[in-house]
Amino acid sequence: MTAVDQSRQTNNGGGHELRSGLAGVPLSLEPLTRKDFTSDQEVRWCPGCGDYAVLAAFQGFMPELGIKKENTVIVSGIGCSSRFPYYVDSYGMHSIHGRATAIATGVATAREDVGVFVITGDGDALSIGGNHLIHALRRNVNLTILLFNNRIYGLTKGQYSPTSEVGKITKSTPMGSLDNPFNPVSLALGAEATFVARTIDSDRKHLTEVLRAAAAHRGASFVEIYQNCPIFNDGAFDVIKDKETSADAIIPLRHGEPIIFGVDGRLGVVRDPNSGEFGVAEVAEVGVEALVVHDAHRPDPTYAFGLSRLTASGMLNQSPIGVFRDVAAPAYDDLSRAQVSTAAAQNSDDDALQALIAGNDTWNVS
Amino acid sequence: MKQVHTLDRVVIRFAGDSGDGMQLTGDRFTADSAVFGNDISTLPNFPAEIRAPAGTLPGVSSFQLHFANYDIMTPGDRPDVLVAMNPAALKANIADLPRGGVIIVDTADFTKRNLAKVGYDTNPLEDGSLTDYQLHSLDLTGMTVEAVKQFGLSRKDASRAKNMFALGLLSWLYHRPTEGTLNFLSRKFATKPDIRDANITAFKTGYAFGETTEVFAVTYEVAPAPMPAGQYRQISGNLALAYGLITGARKAGLPLFLGSYPITPASDVLHELSKHKRFGVTTFQAEDEIAGVGAALGASFAGHLGVTTTSGPGVALKAETIGLAVMTELPLLICDVQRAGPSTGMPTKTEQADLLQVMFGRNGESPVPVIAAQSPADCFDTAIEATRIAIKYRTPVILLSDGYIANGAEPWPVPDLSAIATIDPDFAVEPNGTDKAGKDVFYPYRRDAETLARPWAIPGTAGLQHRIGGIEKARDTGAVSYDPANHEEMVRTRQAKVDGIVRDIPDLVVDDPDGARVLVLGWGSTYGPITAAVRRVRKGGRAVAQTHLRHLNPFPANLGEILRSYDRVIVPEMNLGQLSMMLRAKYLVDVHSYSRVRGLPISLSELAHDLESEIDQLEGVRA
């Protein structure tokens, strides 16, 4: 029995046969629990680090996938979050800075029967590993990529990162950082990633929902997780986490529903018919019918990219969360394996190899 | 009936514009000579520019072929025959042709403008400057266009068959068989009948022109070379490398995963492997060099044979990932087809200057086995041996080739694959120890007592879940460890594991028939020139010993003893003395470095001459 049984039926833009992200991965014969995904290693993040919450949600969610834990591989790069694989009792590699997506591409392409997760951070994935990330996304390799975005370099003790806001005062930028940050979701959509989502470390329910959708997606699933670093960037997400302010700051995206948020649903997302740009309006002023109805399955990424621009680029005071884009497209690793198996259907035995090596132009010396 | 002279060896150089098809012409003449039974050795020499401006010196592409009735070791220092398709080709190559050599020139491009383009004030075909050579000025282009008129091609397309006219003429001049080239043209242009027929006609017309013209009074025969009985083919180094990788993976029963990024002169290995997916080969053209080796390492972790192919600049980029493979102790092959450096250097020219880079170009104590191929065909055996070491010892292995043997070709007795020993990947399938409570557990860093290799447990193996990575490992458990004593133990163990590969390396054999005082020791692609130079020195009545290293890390066990048993050890290398430095450091022997870095193979006549001087000097010292 394999996880192909878990294929879901959802609307999709591409018209491709839908396979679950975990199709081909063997299912566990016995039900697993959180404990099964807990290794013997002591977890060593700073007290209050958001990584604890993500790890707990991940360990809690993995049993529900039903796949064998020995058929799970977690690859990480370098950074605080990249310690993650040590704490999960699966196969894992804590690799080198920025290269996790490249290494995971090799694992995923080599083995259809393995579910591959990538754990990375804003420095790891967007700075030193930016190239590998965008190429894994454009290829649509069947990986679930969890990017822990704390908007700071934690492990190297507090330099600004490629997601830090302009003017960030850090040890390496005492007069303020100068460069414009990446919006990770915009970047992923620019690379035409087929599944792009954002969630928050402290919202266990939402985090789990997003992980579930990401794992079910076949191809590259990119999940940005807002994660607080209590030591070097504490409070970076306070506005969207604080109960007082979060209602007006978080824009929840739910497929098929109007994008409405704010205290008592007073705000909504509208789209300018001329420019195509998105904005926030008072529902009382524009009416519910004027609000954008979220469609994560649009084949063209333009719409999702537009939505991603609603995230403030400076201090974070407003941001959409949820699944921006979820479209079906062929996965690179499936296509690669199909080429090999199609080719292998030709004569590929030892005699065929002997004939290949001899070639067409031989001569005999007697 | 024309006169036939018998020769024992000939060196021909075909030279033309980079669009003139000189590489193809050379390849075909080589194939026909190989099938005829001559020993062959080739040296393609082409510009990095795909199409440099037509008719200019930087645009000249050449192909040198040495064929003989005995076993030859090099493509020859200097050609006997130069085929020049334009003024630039003549100008760029004439200095290499000894006085009295044969020049066959296509006169069509010898216009005032083209002559001026390459700095000829007067036409060298007419001004008497070539009177010391046997000059044959022929309108090859004109004759070709006339011959293929019937196919209605444009003059431009028609004239492109001139290389086949030249090949036909040379085939006649040297009594080459023609079936191979005719079959090749039929296959290559099967879908373009006009082009096919024009090329075949040009080839046949060139051949017939030789027979009928009065220009050539003499033809030449070079008899087949005696070779051990068997089935032969000709093979280039990159092709042999690709076939060796496929065979190595098959012998190990593993799928092959190539992660690679295009780079001269290694790209042909990627191209070749991409054609052979039916043998369980996955090829991944990565976004960069780092991703190429990263994906290969990921595939190795997943239980494939991970391979990456590159050249020097790529090795530099891959260094950190190779270090990760050292730390995670996974099999991985890194094939470095060296080219002239530093930096971009001269991508199409050869060099051996990556030796120290692959030995030491990583952070920390990071030992990696290094082996080098000595000839085009040897790339096959070297690839299989690299695979064997990587799998047995769970280690990255660096295989060194270079542009000279990668593109050069030689005859090769086709190996019987069934005679090649299998390689056991020996995957871990069950726990290899017990914990304090007596429970069976898996220790990913518990080592084989003899090889010090750790178990290779691949995803999907129940109960053997484990985490590896670049952080220092605790012995046995592989858990993260910053313990000082553990680190020292692990550093020394990784080194001891690689050093211990010496048990699988045969002792070095010295060829020393005359009890010489001078030893010439080389590695890699200098094997051909060194062997040829040693033969010449011995022919001249001097004693000289020769040996050649395949294993550069670790060295064979008896190397120190050999070095100390000669009065003088001379180490020719296409670098500034990198192996010399390693030998001096390890064995405290004052070896003499013989160093050439011209982007070309070492000249055998120059080396022979210099060896003779060294020997004479030493003998003089004794007298």
pLDDT band at A12 (very low <50, low <70, confident <90, very high): very low
Query: Tokens representing B480?
Result: 């993260």
pLDDT recorded at residue B621: 64
Q: Do B303 and A99 touch (CB under 8 A)?
A: no
Domain membership of residue B392 (yes or no) is yes
Q: Which amino acid is at B441?
A: V
Q: Is the pLDDT of residue B378 over 70?
A: yes
For range B261-277, the mean pLDDT = 98
Positive or negative: CA dihedral B161, B163, B164, B168:
positive
Backbone torsions φ then ψ of A353, nearest 5 degrees = -65, -40
* Cross-strand partners of A198: A224, A322
Backbone torsions φ then ψ of A291, nearest 5 degrees = -75, 150
Q: What is the CATH number of the domain that holds B280?
A: 3.40.50.970
State which of B419, B448, B474 marks the end of a domain. Answer: B419
- How far is it, in rounded angstroms, from Cα B280 to Cα A297? 36
Cα nearest neighbour of A347 on chain B:
B278
For range B289-310, the mean pLDDT = 98
Q: What is the CATH number of the domain that holds B36?
A: 3.40.920.10
For range B428-457, the mean pLDDT = 97
Cα nearest neighbour of A87 on chain B:
B467
- Report percent pLDDT > 70 for chain A: 95
Alpha helices in chain A (DSSP H): 50-65, 100-110, 122-123, 130-139, 184-190, 204-216, 238-241, 246-249, 283-286, 302-308, 332-344, 350-358
Domain membership of residue B241 (yes or no) is yes
| Number of domain units in chain B | 4
For range B232-244, the mean pLDDT = 97
Give Cα B369 distance to the centre of its chain: 19
Indicate the DSSP class of residue A16: P
Closest of A109, A124, A350 to residue A220, by C-alpha = A109
- How far is it, in rounded angstroms, from Cα B602 to Cα B363? 33
Is the minimum CB–CB distance between A357 and chain B shorter than 8 Å? yes
pLDDT recorded at residue B214: 86
pLDDT recorded at residue A316: 85
Alpha helices in B103-161 (DSSP H): 112-117, 140-147, 155-159
* Residues from chain B contacting residue A71 (CB–CB below 8 Å): 459-460
Optimal mutation site among A32, A83, A91, A353, interface B, most CBs of chain B within 10 A = A91
Q: Do B584 and B455 belong together in one domain?
A: no
For range B501-512, the mean pLDDT = 98
Q: How many CB atoms are located within 10 Å of the residue A251 CB? A: 24
Least confident among A244-253, A308-317, B96-105: A308-317
Helix (H, G, I), strand (E, B) or coil at A54: helix
Q: Which amino acid is at B195?
A: I
Placement of tokens 């290494």 in the chain: A103
Q: Is the pLDDT of residue B280 over 80?
A: yes
- How far is it, in rounded angstroms, from Cα B246 to Cα B281? 7
Helix (H, G, I), strand (E, B) or coil at A221: strand
**Residue A254 · residue A294 · CB < 8 Å:** yes
pLDDT band at A59 (very low <50, low <70, confident <90, very high): very high
For range B217-238, the mean pLDDT = 93
Domain membership of residue B368 (yes or no) is yes
Q: Do B282 and A340 touch (CB under 8 A)?
A: yes
Q: What is the CATH number of the domain that holds B581?
A: 3.40.50.920
- How far is it, in rounded angstroms, from Cα B16 to Cα A326? 56
Q: Do B325 and B444 belong together in one domain?
A: no
**Nearest residue, CB atoms, B231 vs list A99, A107, A358:** A358
DSSP per residue, B164-197: HHHHHHHHHHTT---HHHHHHHHHHTTT-HHHHH
Average pLDDT across chain B, whole number? 96
Q: Which amino acid is at A259?
A: I
Q: Is the pLDDT of residue A6 over 70?
A: no
Domain membership of residue B227 (yes or no) is no
Q: Do B302 and A95 touch (CB under 8 A)?
A: no
Q: Do B87 and B172 belong together in one domain?
A: yes
- How far is it, in rounded angstroms, from Cα A283 to Cα B280? 59
* Residues from chain B contacting residue A342 (CB–CB below 8 Å): 277
- How far is it, in rounded angstroms, from Cα B460 to Cα A173? 46
Domain residue limits at B528: 518-622
**Residue B578 · residue B312 · CB < 8 Å:** no
Detail the DSSP E strand segments found in B497-563.
Answer: 518-523, 545-549, 551-553
- How far is it, in rounded angstroms, from Cα B344 to Cα B352? 15
Q: Do B571 and B447 belong together in one domain?
A: no
Instruction: Kindly state the helix (H) or strand (E) to which residue A290 belongs, with its residue range.
Output: none
Q: How many CB atoms are located within 10 Å of the residue A255 CB? A: 15
pLDDT band at A292 (very low <50, low <70, confident <90, very high): very high
**Residue B241 · residue B235 · CB < 8 Å:** no
Reported pTM: 0.94
For range B12-38, the mean pLDDT = 93
Q: Which amino acid is at B105?
A: V
Positive or negative: CA dihedral B123, B129, B133, B134:
positive
- How far is it, in rounded angstroms, from Cα A16 to Cα A217? 13
For range B215-237, the mean pLDDT = 93
- How far is it, in rounded angstroms, from Cα B120 to Cα B57? 12
Cα nearest neighbour of B457 on chain A:
A91
Closest of B299, B136, B269, B144 to residue B206, by C-alpha = B144
- How far is it, in rounded angstroms, from Cα A156 to Cα A171? 10
- How far is it, in rounded angstroms, from Cα B307 to Cα A97? 21
Cα nearest neighbour of A135 on chain B:
B287
Is the minimum CB–CB distance between B180 and chain A shorter than 8 Å? yes
Q: Do B52 and B196 belong together in one domain?
A: yes
* Residues from chain A contacting residue B320 (CB–CB below 8 Å): 96, 99
Q: Do B213 and B95 belong together in one domain?
A: yes
Alpha helices in A140-224 (DSSP H): 184-190, 204-216
Q: Do A357 and B247 touch (CB under 8 A)?
A: yes
Instruction: Kindly state the helix (H) or strand (E) to which residue B221 belongs, with its residue range.
Output: strand B218-222
Is the minimum CB–CB distance between A39 and chain B shorter than 8 Å? yes
* Residues from chain A contacting residue B323 (CB–CB below 8 Å): 96
Domain membership of residue B240 (yes or no) is yes
Q: Do B465 and A70 touch (CB under 8 A)?
A: yes
Closest of B269, B245, B228, B272 to residue B414, by C-alpha = B228
Interface of B with A in 440-469 (CB under 8 A): 458-469
Q: Is the pLDDT of residue B83 over 90?
A: yes
Q: Do A364 and B228 touch (CB under 8 A)?
A: no
**Nearest residue, CB atoms, B459 vs list A73, A86, A346:** A73
Optimal mutation site among B181, B277, B328, B379, interface A, most CBs of chain A within 10 A = B277
**Nearest residue, CB atoms, B302 vs list A78, A92, A107:** A107
Backbone torsions φ then ψ of A352, nearest 5 degrees = -65, -40
Q: Do B291 and A350 touch (CB under 8 A)?
A: no
Placement of tokens 């050249």 in the chain: B311
Strand A144-149 and strand A115-121: the pairing is parallel
State which of B419, B444, B466 marks the end of a domain. Answer: B419
Strand B440-441 and strand A144-149: the pairing is unpaired
pLDDT recorded at residue A361: 84
pLDDT recorded at residue A13: 40
pLDDT band at B53 (very low <50, low <70, confident <90, very high): confident
- How far is it, in rounded angstroms, from Cα A296 to Cα B316? 42
Q: Is the pLDDT of residue A270 over 60?
A: yes
* Residues from chain A contacting residue B468 (CB–CB below 8 Å): 92-94
For range B24-36, the mean pLDDT = 93
Query: Tokens representing B451?
Result: 């090889």
* Residues from chain A contacting residue B234 (CB–CB below 8 Å): 361
Query: Tokens representing A60?
Result: 């809690």
**Residue B504 · residue B553 · CB < 8 Å:** no
Q: Do B87 and B30 belong together in one domain?
A: yes
Domain membership of residue B203 (yes or no) is yes
Q: What is the ipTM of this complex?
A: 0.95
pLDDT recorded at residue B217: 86
**Residue A217 · residue A194 · CB < 8 Å:** yes
Q: Which amino acid is at A100?
A: A
**Residue A224 · residue A265 · CB < 8 Å:** no
Domain membership of residue B507 (yes or no) is no
pLDDT band at B1 (very low <50, low <70, confident <90, very high): low
Q: Do B436 and B369 belong together in one domain?
A: no
**Nearest residue, CB atoms, B302 vs list A70, A111, A336:** A111
Closest of B596, B235, B248 to residue B399, by C-alpha = B248
Query: Tokens representing B577?
Result: 């003395």
State which of B185, B200, B222 marks the end of a domain. Answer: B222
**Nearest residue, CB atoms, B299 vs list A89, A106, A366:** A106
* Residues from chain B contacting residue A106 (CB–CB below 8 Å): 257, 259, 284, 294-302, 306
Least confident among A7-21, A95-109, A111-125, B590-604: A7-21
Placement of tokens 């982007």 in the chain: B599
Domain membership of residue B44 (yes or no) is yes
Q: Do B398 and B437 belong together in one domain?
A: no
For range A319-347, the mean pLDDT = 96
Q: Do B244 and B338 belong together in one domain?
A: yes
pLDDT recorded at residue A4: 44
- Determine the distance in angstroms separating the CA of A342 from the nearest CA of chain B, rounded to an integer: 8
Give Cα A184 distance to the centre of its chain: 10
Q: Quick one: B487 exposed, middle or buried, by C-beta within 10 A (0-12, 13-18, 19+)?
A: middle
- Report percent pLDDT > 90 for chain B: 94
Strand ordering across the sheet containing B568-573: B545-549, B518-523, B568-573, B592-595
Which residues are CB-contacts of A289 (< 8 A; sequence separation ≥ 6)?
none
Q: Do B170 and B30 belong together in one domain?
A: yes
Q: Do B614 and B486 belong together in one domain?
A: no
Detail the DSSP E strand segments found in chain A.
Answer: 72-76, 91-94, 115-121, 144-149, 195-200, 221-226, 250-253, 260-261, 267-271, 278-282, 319-326, 363-365
